[in-house]
Structure 1
């Protein structure tokens, strides 16, 4: 079994065939999917999708692009919403200095709010970080000093230092279809050095489809292609990478019940 630790099934790209997309994922051996929140105001729609499929769970949080719009979201609100049985993570939250759709101080404020919620609930924080390596590393070190919290550096495409800081602080590193791209040799070199017990795979669907689907709409079934390249990168078999990343997933997303048998 493989797990897609990060997708966006609530996005309009999937609206007309969501059930078929989930069915294709299951047929491809993807036993669990986490549909990730980007806006707390849309939480009800996200949780309804998770409730519609036994294999789909969700998170609650505000993407850094939306940070300025949701500065009124409180730790208490995140904690309260996360009590829903289908919510297994906080986020995604973090820093995006590539697009800068929200002021950086708003991104930082929102990020620290989500960290506090992750620390309080024990649920993993799904971290978005783009072109913000130095500030991200500094905040993670500062906040861990106040009290540890579980987290995942999702869709990792940053530099080696951030990966090393994340792992040193107890975090996990998740790789998306970017890992399969021909120009991602440096990223594969970083992935090769991440401890096996900290590796995860994801799609970030509908974005970043792996080769051979690059340029097309991504979907959870395609996580198998990223897992194949990750296996080659770290020097183990596809069967082993499936076992490793799935074990890591359930260790991190500990609120999610593990299937009692393959395919369940």
Structure 2
């Protein structure tokens, strides 16, 4: 029993074969998919997927798509969160420090979404690239009651511990399958059993051996095996622990 705690099933990459993609995932034991929103334009597609019994959804404004965000989007997000109590988190939001030219606006947008989550006692799904320490500092200042997910965590064991101490859960995905990802491997082995969830970030972040291919939720089973090998546990132990953590974080049904 597995949960893909972060996959973009609403993206057009899946328009031609979405049901087949979901069927392949279910065939390897994936029972639930958490789909985050990225832009206001795509929220309707995300909410439509959320009508399925096996999909839970989040709504947010992603820092990678700054050109897609506009005036009124934050007000619209606040309204959508109030209108759709089925939404399990605010996100995907965060900071991508690869894009220095938009960094100041990213922080403004991120702060506003953190406050929306705080005011509604919702967890946040955070995209954090080259900004672990800065994001952790901001989270410490705000003290979000429901914590959240540090999606696609790629930091050190020390950075992992800081996020855990702040009440956050770490998302482990395709990065853990690469031999060169030694720092992430050390972090994975240091985590408590309730400190992580498994994810794919489909259609992005392909696993080792699948570079250049579209990623999909079925490969969360491969992530599970890789994490199990790193932690010296069985794949079943990792599946049970990560599923329990995802259910607890997002308030998912058992």
TM over 0.5: yes
- The CA deviation string for residues 144-203 of structure 1, in whole angstroms up to 9 with x for no partner, is 2xx534211001113344322110101000111110011112211011111111111100
Distance 2:23 2:121 in 1: 31
Q: After TM superposition, give the deviation of residue 113 of structure 1 in Å.
A: 1.3
Q: How does 1:49-60 map to 2 (within 5 A)?
A: 49-51=49-51, 53-60=52-59
Cα-Cα RMSD: 1.8
- The CA deviation string for residues 83-134 of structure 1, in whole angstroms up to 9 with x for no partner, is 425421110111001134x611211111111111221222220000001123
- What is residue 90 of structure 1 aligned with on the other side? 90
Q: How does 1:103-122 map to 2 (within 5 A)?
A: 103-122=102-121
**Structure 2 gaps, min length 5:** none
Q: After TM superposition, give the deviation of residue 49 of structure 1 in Å.
A: 2.3
- The CA deviation string for residues 57-87 of structure 1, in whole angstroms up to 9 with x for no partner, is 211000012346246333x643432342542
1:239 pairs with 214, 236, 240, which one?
236
Distance 1:85 1:234 in 2: 37
Distance 1:98 1:8 in 2: 21
Q: TM-score normalised to the size of structure 2? A: 0.92
Distance 2:102 2:139 in 1: 19
- The CA deviation string for residues 11-67 of structure 1, in whole angstroms up to 9 with x for no partner, is 12111111111111111100000111111232112111222x321121100001234
Residues 47, 86 of structure 1: 8 Å contact kept: no
- The CA deviation string for residues 176-233 of structure 1, in whole angstroms up to 9 with x for no partner, is 1110011112211011111111111100001112234233110000000001111111
2:202 pairs with 202, 205, 217, which one?
205
Residues 59, 89 of structure 1: 8 Å contact kept: yes
Residue 178 (str. 1) matches residue 168 (str. 2): no
Residues 30-39 or 63-72, more deviating: 63-72
How many residues of Structure 1 are paired with residues of Structure 2 in the alignment? 252
Relative to 1, partners in 2 of residues 1:71 and 1:116: Cα closer, same or farther, differing over 3 Å?
Answer: farther
- What is residue 80 of structure 1 aligned with on the other side? 79
